[in-house]
Amino acid sequence: MTVEYRPSIAVTGPDKSGLTAWLFTSLNVRIAGGYPVRVTPSRFEGSFHFDGVIIGGGSDIHPDNYTAQRTPNVNRSLWLKIKEVLCYPMELLSYFSKPAYDKERDEMEKQFIDFAIEHDKPILGICRGHQLLNAKLGGTMYQSTLPLLQKKMRIRSPFPRKKVIYTKDESLISEIAGDDPIEVNAIHSQAIAKPADDLEVTAKEKAGISQVIESKSSDKLLGVQWHPEYLFYMKAHRNIFEWLVQTAKQDSKNMGDNNGEK
The CA distance from 40 to 200, in Å, is 29
Q: What angle, 0 to 180 degrees and rounded to 10, lies between the N-to-C axes of helices 235-261 and 19-31?
A: 60
For 8-261, CATH number out of 3.40.50.2300, 3.40.50.880, 3.40.640.10, 3.30.360.10 equals 3.40.50.880
What is residue 69's DSSP assignment?
P
pLDDT tens, position by position, 140-175: 999 999 888 888 999 999 999 999 999 998 999 999
pLDDT tens, position by position, 178-235: 999 999 999 988 999 999 999 999 999 988 999 999 999 999 999 999 999 999 999 9
pLDDT tens, position by position, 65-98: 999 999 888 888 989 989 999 999 888 877 777 6
Q: How far is CA 220 from the centre of its chain?
A: 14
